[in-house]
Amino acid sequence: MTLSGPILIIDDEVQIRRLLEITLSANGYKISEASTAKEGINLAASIDPVLIILDLGLPDIDGLEVIKKLREWYQKPILILSVRSSEDDIIKALDNGANDYLTKPFRTGELLARIRVAIRLGQEIADKPCLTFGNIVIDLASHVVRKNDEIVKLTSTEYSLLALLSKNEGRVLTHQYILKEVWGMGYIDQTQYLRVFIAQLRKKIEDDPSKPRLLNTESGIGYRFGS
């Protein structure tokens, strides 16, 4: 793994920091820790972490504010790890610029997977002309999608939706974001469009549409492509 810097953990709970440190170090990551938002923001500026794991319930500044402040200059992934589990909080965090979220209590396996995806995405910002996910190949240059080397017939909306999701592989995209990008500002509340088109796409792309592998639902929040 080619890592340029450490992972910064901003969390006021000592036990969580300790658990994360043990788990992440054991998996080969370098770790920096901060227990308050101010400390975390300062540290982030000085060490330029490869990823930040952020708790929303910090004692000094609200987590949503912290994301905003960090995003003023920090480009790399921010992963939210919080006990706040309401959909509203999560959507707000994502809208403010967080890349992903996990609620406490969490599975360390899941956390490691998310970190891997986030870091990889962070490093692969450059546009690739062709994306491959198992038996699915998406040719972004020629707008052609192949499954098992056979061309899948997609309508233009279906294609736009698939392209948007696949380009953000592993990242949660909120309903509003997807609707805005694919349909436009005026459709921001038309979640039924999204549901219908996702169902159609699943039928065309997934091996078993009832157990989707690529087009995953994040309950009440949005969709995540792959992983």
Does 210 participate in binding other proteins (rule CB under 8 A)? yes
Tokens representing 158?
Answer: 């279906």
Rounded to a whole number of angstroms, the distance between the first and last alpha carbons of the chain is 19
Sheet holding 100-103, edge to edge: 31-34, 7-10, 51-54, 78-82, 100-103
Which of residues 60 and 95 has its CB atom nearest to other proteins in the complex?
A: 95
Site string for other proteins, 92-131 (x = CB under 8 A): -------------x--------------------------
Site string for other proteins, 142-181 (x = CB under 8 A): -------------xxxx----------------x------
Does 18 participate in binding other proteins (rule CB under 8 A)? no
Does 14 participate in binding other proteins (rule CB under 8 A)? no
- The minimum distance between CB 203 and other proteins, in angstroms, equals 11
Contact between 80 and 102 (Cβ < 8 Å): yes
d(CA 100, CA 97): 9
User: What phi and psi, each to the nearest 5 degrees, are found at residue 34?
Assistant: -140, 145
Which residues lie near other proteins (CB under 8 A)?
A: 87, 105, 155-158, 175, 191-199, 209-212, 217, 219-220
